[in-house]
Structure 1
Amino acid sequence: MKNIVILISGEGSNMAAIVRAAEEGRWTERFGARVAAVLSNRPEAAGLVFAREHGIATAAMSHKDFATREAFDAALAAAIEPHAPALVVLAGFMRILTPGFVERYAGRLINIHPSLLPAFPGLNTHQRAIEAGCRVAGATVHQVTVELDHGPILDQAVVPVLADDTPATLAERVLTQEHRLYPRAIEGWLRRG
């Protein structure tokens, strides 16, 4: 079985989209894959409730309980490992991971970013796209590397930037596309083996 472990920090809307796609797309039957666990760095993350309701193992540990990033990442990896992950998916996981963690899961650690990378890595992507006068924006699924938001691109989705867009309205349209894009990118990864 190809186990997928998803890391979240909040509502988990991308995680929920992935779980629904796995169920509706019969990933277990077609690819021998399943969402095995959802972990969060925020014990109060609403997405954990959704995961539990879908029979998925959950765990949470606050990064605030650890003295260093390295200590948190070591505990996170210890929580991930029992699930023997074929793929670790960052879905709104709002932590920058240490090089050791990234290297441990190299080639099987992916993230979604709300811009058309390589444009606008980091934060405030929608504001930056509007200020730059971009006609299109979007989202990118990429492999995670030590350099933030610079890993190999797996898939992208594009939305127009409208004349009256605010960062909030643009973010809403991009998020709608993320919910389609992330499952599609994971399914492509599973198909490629």
Structure 2
Amino acid sequence: MPRCRTRRRHCAARAPCGLRTGAGGLPPHAHQGTRTGRARRPRARLLVCGGDRSVAGAGSYRMVLERLANDCRADSAILFAGDIEPGLMKRYYAAADLHVVTSYIETFSYAAVEAALAGTCTVMTDRIGAGHWLEEVGASVVVRGRASEDFAAGIESVLAQLPDAGRARGMAERTAEALSLDRVTLALEGLLMRYVPAADHETAAA
């Protein structure tokens, strides 16, 4: 029920609904991908969650997004939810058909993990730290490079095969298992052994 209420509040119940967290600017691949996606699915909506912020030289990021949306003739399709209480964000992740990380590069992206734990797939570039973890469990579509057509195709691939409740639950369970403390610790230990000289291992152990 919370999922249905969240969708009704912001999006048409039967229209595809994508979610984006944060109010940063859209890079070119996402800008053009939005234009392409709008042409393919005119009823789709993109809900931006997160408060506005002002940056020197750029001004209001929300206004930047609104201008880009207008350039794409998608101003009615991009909606702004504003700040969402942290405890309520899982409802927004669960209500969306997909989550989009539009940054070209991020160290990790906890938002993508939170979306996966809610059973929602994320479309992202191959420069997002959490990408390989989530791709392995079917919780992300990783787009190689910056081609806008590829980014739009990634979004389309998710919308074309939306999971039912059982598959979404399975995605959440696989994500929780893949990112369990024990498994992440072993993976990080493997990276340490691979990239740090043996002498440094001995020093760290001492």
Larger strand percent: 1
Larger helix percent: 2
Which has the larger Rg? 2
